[in-house]
């Protein structure tokens, strides 16, 4: 089959979709990736992946969407894809409508986390559900990563065929695993004492990832904080880079490490002690799975996806969104108890191995789509 994998930005394609693309290619299919142009496109092409670029804006309301729609219809008609598989909210909405207009035989949507969530006002939430319903008239198969999202999609009829399945999310356990072989070297490079308790967070540098609450919760704790991530040019949520810089020069000093985008996340996790993700909303966060595979206890917010991954009191703690005191209490308890960190980390590793092996997640998709 000839398959299009479509997302809005090159970051998503490079960081999250390549294992699926590689599996489809290995199964004998021709895969063309489509996203907006960006710095990672050249790297993908150098690796042998065909990437076609289409201008996308991630703004929800923009006249630019019409030009994107027309460009996608032209591309789909020219390429004559057997399947178009869409990801990320804006690209998924426009891409499904364009694929239907181009008479693509099979249109697949993976919802990595619906844009609507429980903390929205009722009218705003209803509006986004309605948009998903409209795009669902052009959807043959709807995958979600979280079980909660699959139940929501079925309840609201967000796929016209009714084919909705939670496929989960996963990482490679051969890469993400416990171990101390590089711990000393990583900590030396980051000027972090061997005895320090390191709390690590991975996420784009925007407010909805919970950084303001995390800084407030940890500024007086006896911990070191490693922040991995960057702000993307397409991000529209509040920028918190200035807040992080100010915290580094005031309360935290050298205890706060702003590490930017990294390709050695697995080694950083093995050198850390606790993982946290205090996001305001999520889909099915891969970073939590990476931390669990690495044997770390996790402190996360009680939001969709995260609460499916973390078992409160067994593999970590779940706290309410915006609850600075609760976040502080959970992190302080783990920072002061190495035995608890070990027990919850081991339980998290066992859960991740049972549920979140990337190879199994991809195999489920290929079987469901008849691509294996």
Element (H, E) at 111: strand 106-111
Domains along the chain with CATH numbers: 2-170+357-369 (3.40.50.2000), 183-355 (3.40.50.2000)
The phi-psi region of residue 66 (left if phi > 0; otherwise alpha if psi is between -120 and 50; otherwise beta) is alpha
Rounded Cα–Cα distance for residues 313 and 294 (Å): 18
Look at residue 236 and tell me whether its pLDDT is greater than 70: no
Cβ-based neighbours of 199, under 8 Å, separated by 6 or more: 218, 223, 224, 225, 226, 272, 273, 274, 275, 276, 331, 335
**Top-confidence residue, 236 or 247:** 247
- For 48-76, what is the mean pLDDT? 93
Token code pair at residue 98? 């364009």
**First-last CA distance in the chain:** 11
pLDDT the model gives residue 232: 75
Secondary-structure percent of the chain, ordered helix, strand, coil, rounded to 5: 45, 15, 40
User: Based on C-alpha coordinates, what's the Rg of the chain?
Assistant: 21
Concatenated DSSP letters for 155-181? HHT-STT--EEE----B-TTTS----T
Please enumerate in sequence order all residues whose Cβ is within 8 A of that of 2, keeping only pairs 6 or more positions apart, or say none.
29, 30, 32, 79, 80, 81, 82, 83
Residue 234 has pLDDT above 70, yes or no: no
For residues 299 and 331, the answer to whether their CB atoms sit within 8 Å is yes
pLDDT in tens, 253-304: 889 999 999 999 999 999 999 999 999 999 899 999 999 999 999 999 999 9
How far is residue 165's CA from residue 317's CA, in Å, rounded to a whole number? 28
Q: Quick check: 237 pLDDT over 80? A: no
Strand partners of residue 227: 201, 258
Check residue 32 and give its pLDDT. Answer: 98
Each residue's pLDDT tens digit, 168-205: 999 999 999 999 889 999 999 999 999 999 999 999 99
Between 240 and 152, the higher pLDDT residue: 152
Task: For residues 97 and 315, give the distance between their C-alpha atoms in angstroms, rounded to a whole number.
Answer: 41
């Amino acid at each position: 089959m000839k398959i299009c994998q479509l997302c809005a930005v090159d970051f998503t394609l490079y960081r999250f979709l390549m294992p699926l693309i590689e599996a489809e290619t290995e199964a004998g299919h021709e895969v063309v990736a489509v996203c907006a142009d960006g710095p990672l496109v050249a790297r993908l092409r150098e690796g042998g992946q065909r990437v076609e670029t289409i201008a996308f804006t991630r703004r929800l309301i923009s006249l630019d969407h019409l030009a994107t729609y027309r460009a996608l219809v032209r591309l789909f008609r020219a390429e004559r894809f057997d399947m178009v598989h869409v990801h990320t909210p804006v690209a998924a909405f426009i891409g499904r409508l364009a694929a239907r207009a181009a008479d693509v035989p099979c249109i697949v949507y993976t919802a990595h986390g619906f844009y609507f969530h429980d903390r929205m006002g009722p009218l705003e939430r209803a509006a986004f559900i309605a948009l998903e319903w409209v795009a669902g008239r052009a959807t043959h198969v709807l995958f979600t990563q979280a079980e909660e999202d699959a139940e929501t999609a079925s309840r609201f009829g967000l796929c016209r065929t009714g084919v909705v399945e939670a496929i989960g999310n996963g990482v490679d356990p051969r890469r993400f695993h416990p171990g101390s072989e590089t711990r000393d070297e990583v900590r030396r490079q980051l000027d972090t004492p061997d005895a320090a308790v390191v709390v690590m967070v991975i996420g784009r540098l925007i407010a909805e990832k919970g950084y303001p609450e995390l800084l407030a919760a940890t500024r007086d704790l006896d911990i070191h904080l490693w922040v991995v991530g960057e702000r993307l040019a397409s991000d529209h949520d509040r920028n918190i880079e200035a807040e992080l810089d100010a915290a580094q020069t005031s309360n935290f000093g050298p205890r706060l490490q702003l590490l930017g985008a990294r390709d050695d996340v697995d080694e950083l996790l093995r050198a850390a002690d606790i993982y946290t993700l205090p996001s305001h909303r999520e889909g099915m966060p891969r970073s939590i799975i990476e931390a669990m595979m690495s044997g770390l206890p996790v402190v996360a917010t009680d939001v969709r996806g995260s609460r499916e991954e973390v078992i409160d009191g067994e593999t970590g703690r779940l706290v309410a969104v915006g609850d600075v005191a609760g976040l502080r209490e959970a992190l302080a308890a783990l920072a002061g108890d190495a035995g608890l960190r070990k027990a919850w980390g081991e339980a998290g590793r066992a859960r991740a191995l049972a549920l979140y092996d990337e190879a199994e997640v991809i195999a489920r998709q290929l079987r469901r789509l008849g691509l294996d």
